[in-house]
Every structure is written in structure tokens, then in C-alpha cells.
Amino acid sequence: MDNQVMLPQDVEKKGQEIYSRLKDSLEQENLGKFVTIDVISEVYFIGETLEEALLKAKEKYPNRVFHTVKIGSPGVFSQSSSFSNNGYNKWFS
């Protein structure tokens, strides 16, 4: 089953739940790497770079949308501008 019908915020919420369960073990050995999580199978893919993790996941599940985390960091990147994407939920709810 593919998850194109899941709202992005639901993918993110489920992805965060799965990551919280894996957090301790992932941070022990993979701090600073990226993990892309398939929220349906709960299979995760680790990459040295963001692209590597994403492409590994896409190769396994080409039609799914994943959730990605930088292990040990609050975000996959940081931005100095004050523009947030909090309208994201407004677009998809």
C-alpha cells in the first residue's frame, strides 16, 4: 500500500513517533547522519547525506512519501531567515 493519500502532517507525526522509539539506538552509532523512515512498514534508511537516505528509501518504496530526520538534531537543516513554513498545515488541513 502506498501512502499518497496520507496528509503530510500525518506522515510527519507518524514519522516522529517512530523516530522517538528508535532515537536512543540511532544516536549511539549514527549521530549526525540522516534517517528516512517509511511510516507504513516502519523500515528506516540511514545515509551519510540527506540525499543518500532519501534515495535508498525511494529505491525500496518508489511511490511513498517518507519522513526524514537528522539524527541528534532538531532539523534536517537550519535557516537564518524568520520565514517559517507554519502555513504548511494551513495548506494541507
Partner 1 sequence: MCLVNQVRLATMDIINGFLDKNGHPFFTIEVYGYNSQVAVKVDVMMDTGFTGFLSLPLTYCFQSGLILLSTATYTLADGSSSNTLLCMGTIRVNNISNFTGAISVSFNNPMALIGMDFLNKINGKLMVDTRAKIANIEFPKTIPRPVITTTPTSTPKNRSGAAKAK
Please give the residue ranges that form the binding site for partner 1 (CB under 8 A). 8-9, 11-12, 15, 36, 50-51, 54-55, 57-58, 65-69, 73-89, 91
Q: In the complex, what is the shortest distance from the CB of residue 81 to partner 1, in angstroms, rounded to a whole number?
A: 7
β-strands 44-47, 34-37: how paired? antiparallel
Q: Nearer to partner 1 by C-beta: 28 or 86?
A: 86
Q: In the complex, what is the shortest distance from the CB of residue 87 to partner 1, in angstroms, rounded to a whole number?
A: 5
In sequence order, the β-bridge partners of residue 3 are: none
Q: Nearer to partner 1 by C-beta: 1 or 62?
A: 62
Contact 3, 65 (CB under 8 A): yes
Contact 92, 13 (CB under 8 A): no
